[in-house]
């Protein structure tokens, strides 16, 4: 990532978000619904810096690139756990957490936008699939 301040800020944002999610205590049911976008009716939107971090190490060799699924889910497991974007970090299928997850998502997207402004990085927020298609 060209902008060091953005990269450091993004990493700090992820640490803070992970702490807030852990404090909320959602339970991962290991269902894989978070990665099966089309089947469960959601789209993963990410910012360009998040895409740069996520895609820096490439995608798994046997990954499927389509808008229906996440290419980082292989055999039911996330292969990009440490570098996953905000949308992945906040998403849990735990019904008790849904309102909390939505509030955290809103708060941290706002913080992500503020980080963009502070580091003079233009705001660009698109689907993961759009960023993947750029790499082809």
pLDDT in tens, 52-106: 999 999 998 888 888 889 999 888 888 999 999 999 999 988 888 889 999 999 9
pLDDT in tens, 9-22: 999 999 999 999 99
Higher pLDDT, 124 or 77: 124
Residue count of the chain: 136
CA distances 1 to 76, 103, 121, Å, are 29, 28, 11
- Alpha helix positions (H), the chain: 4-24, 37-40, 48-55, 86-90, 98-118, 128-135
State residue 136's pLDDT score.
63
State residue 93's pLDDT score.
85
CA distance 39 to 45: 16
State residue 1's pLDDT score.
56
Containing domain of residue 12, as a range?
Answer: 4-135
Number of domains the chain contains? 1
State residue 33's pLDDT score.
79
State residue 88's pLDDT score.
93
Question: Would you call 84 helix, strand, or coil by DSSP?
Answer: coil
């Amino acid at each position: 990532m060209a902008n060091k301040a953005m990269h450091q800020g993004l990493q700090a944002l992820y640490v803070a978000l992970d702490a807030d999610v852990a404090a909320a205590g959602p339970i991962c049911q290991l269902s894989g619904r978070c990665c099966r976008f089309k089947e469960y009716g959601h789209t993963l939107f990410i910012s360009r810096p998040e895409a740069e971090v996520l895609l820096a190490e490439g995608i798994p060799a046997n990954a499927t690139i389509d808008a229906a699924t996440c290419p980082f889910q292989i055999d039911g497991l996330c292969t990009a756990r440490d570098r996953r974007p905000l949308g992945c970090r906040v998403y849990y299928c735990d019904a008790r957490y849904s309102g909390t997850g939505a509030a955290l998502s809103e708060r941290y997207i706002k913080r992500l936008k503020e980080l963009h402004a502070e580091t003079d990085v233009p705001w660009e927020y698109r689907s993961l699939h759009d960023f993947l298609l750029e790499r082809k």
